[in-house]
Amino acid sequence: MKKLLSIILALAMMIIPVFAFSGSTYAADTVTLNVYNWGQYISDGTDGYIDVIAEFEAAYPNIKVNYMTFDSNETMYTKLQTDPYAYDVIVPSDYMIQKLISEDRLEELNFDNIPNYEYLDDSFKNMAYDPENKYSVPYTWGYVGIIYNSKYVNEEDTGSWDLLWNPTYAGKILMFDNPRDAFAAGELLLGYGLNTEDEEELSAVTEKLKEQKNLVQAYVMDQIFDKMEREEAWIAPYYAGDYLLMVEENEDLSFYAPEEGFNLFVDALCIPKGARNKEAAELFINFLCSPEICGPNLEYLGYSTPFSAAKEYMDEEMNENEIAYPSEELLSKGQAFNALSVEGSQLMNELWLSVKTSDNVLGRYIIFTCAALVLVIILWAVLAIRKKRRISKRCGGYEK
């Protein structure tokens, strides 16, 4: 009886997947669109804001969005290298777009499918990273500054990048976990350009970052939100738009654009070479560019919009927010990243690794290890001698 039952069950298990499979083939005309975006970088329906993906799926019922996130341009680039056809829409920053274009990793966009491109402000056309406007449509722009908790941090210490090197706040400082942004902080503090590939300058920055390491609580990206909101950390360099999200959770958080200057960036929508659903991807890009969607979406994000027409669909307050839309005077201090040469970015990666792995306790560990090895050898010798004695004793006892 039991046997019969198990056979039936086994047969059932073989049949069920067949049905499941036929079910999925039945709905074959739905397209799955793989979108690969930064973490916390689209309005997802929280706090009564617009749910962009749900709206898109409602507007195009035969497209299903598979939404995935990354936490730095470098992570995104690595994933793209290991699995080039996994994504249909990606959102790299300016310097990464330039790098991807030079490596021929982006599809040219068909602007017939993106009529909303006409709303784009002229100041965001013909950007240095995509001079002919062939590969990218700007999604947001913003700049980097320092977020601090005014409850614990003295106002007098703020204003410059050196807050990140202030020993008073040791253990409460967070730092970028990607080489480009982390080096930018050091480069600005030391007065170098953001795109320097000069070995001497880069190694000076490396020393500066190593010096900072003892004060840093953690090298993180998206975790900055959680750590700052819960006051586990007090100081963190991050993107201005994200500060506006954080301050809604914790009112004590403040923000400033450092006086030495800062990185000004554009994140844009692109389609990787060989994407499986190019047309659906273009529909998605077009959807994000329409002012009615872009406005509420960016109102939630706190990042600044390259589509002035979208401001009509935003809250007044957001429109006039000095952090989201700073004065021309402040913006003139911003510098854009350019793509580094292959050798330059490899050098930076190596130096960054040396910062993260730098240590001054090697001596202690070597002493410990030597001591342990000596102990092991002594133990081995003692055991060997004891064993020999025992054998000889026993042999003596038998008197062969």
Partner 1 sequence: MKRKFLAAPYVVWMLLFTLVPLFIVIYFAFTDSITGAFTLNNLVSITDYATIFLRSIWLSVAATLICLIIGYPVAYTIAQCKPKTQRILHMLIMLPMCMSFLLRTLAWVALLEDTGIINNIITSLGITPLPLIRNSGAVILGMVYNYLPYMILPLYTSISKQNPRLIEAAEDLGCNKVNVFRKVILPLSLPGITSGITMVFVPAVSTFYISQKLGSPGTILVGDVIESQFKGAYNPNLGAAMSLILMILIFICIGITNHFTKNTDEEVMMS
Q: Are 260 and 86 in contact (CB under 8 A)?
A: no
- 356 belongs to the binding site for partner 1 (CB under 8 A): yes
Q: Which is nearer to partner 1, 71 or 121 (CB)?
A: 71
Binder of partner 1 out of 66, 154, 369, 392 (CB under 8 A): 369
Binder of partner 1 out of 9, 128, 391, 395 (CB under 8 A): 391
Q: Build a one-symbol-per-residue string for 263-302: x at contacts with partner 1 by CB under 8 A, - elsewhere.
A: ----------------------------------------
Binder of partner 1 out of 9, 59, 366, 385 (CB under 8 A): 366
Binder of partner 1 out of 219, 254, 292, 331 (CB under 8 A): 219
Binder of partner 1 out of 394, 397, 398, 400 (CB under 8 A): 394
The span from the CA of 218 to the CA of 173, in Å, is 8
Question: Interacting stretch for partner 1, rule CB under 8 A, among 33-41, 123-131, 290-298, 353-361?
Answer: 353-361
Q: Which is nearer to partner 1, 338 or 349 (CB)?
A: 349
Question: Interacting stretch for partner 1, rule CB under 8 A, among 129-137, 143-151, 225-233, 269-277?
Answer: 225-233
Q: Build a one-symbol-per-residue string for 229-248: x at contacts with partner 1 by CB under 8 A, - elsewhere.
A: -xxx----------------
How buried is residue 130: exposed, middle or buried, by Cβ count under 10 Å (0-12/13-18/19+)?
buried
Q: How far is the CB of 230 from partner 1 (least distance, A)?
A: 5
The span from the CA of 143 to the CA of 194, in Å, is 13
Q: Which is nearer to partner 1, 82 or 332 (CB)?
A: 82
The span from the CA of 317 to the CA of 117, in Å, is 26
Q: Build a one-symbol-per-residue string for 67-106: x at contacts with partner 1 by CB under 8 A, - elsewhere.
A: -----x-xx-xx--x-------------------------
Q: Which is nearer to partner 1, 290 or 349 (CB)?
A: 349
Q: Which is nearer to partner 1, 80 or 285 (CB)?
A: 80
Q: Which is nearer to partner 1, 61 or 396 (CB)?
A: 396
Instruction: Give, as ranges, the residues between 127 and 186 that touch partner 1 (CB under 8 A).
Output: 171, 177-179
Residue whose C-alpha is closest to residue 89's, from 62, 63, 125, 120: 63
Measured over the CA atoms of residue 288, residue 294, residue 300 and residue 305, the dihedral's sign is positive
- Residue 364's region, left for phi above 0, alpha for psi from -120 to 50, else beta, is alpha
Q: How far is the CB of 304 from partner 1 (least distance, A)?
A: 27
Q: Are 286 and 116 in contact (CB under 8 A)?
A: yes
CA dihedral 77, 79, 85, 88 (to 10 degrees): -70
- 59 belongs to the binding site for partner 1 (CB under 8 A): no
Q: How far is the CB of 249 from partner 1 (least distance, A)?
A: 14
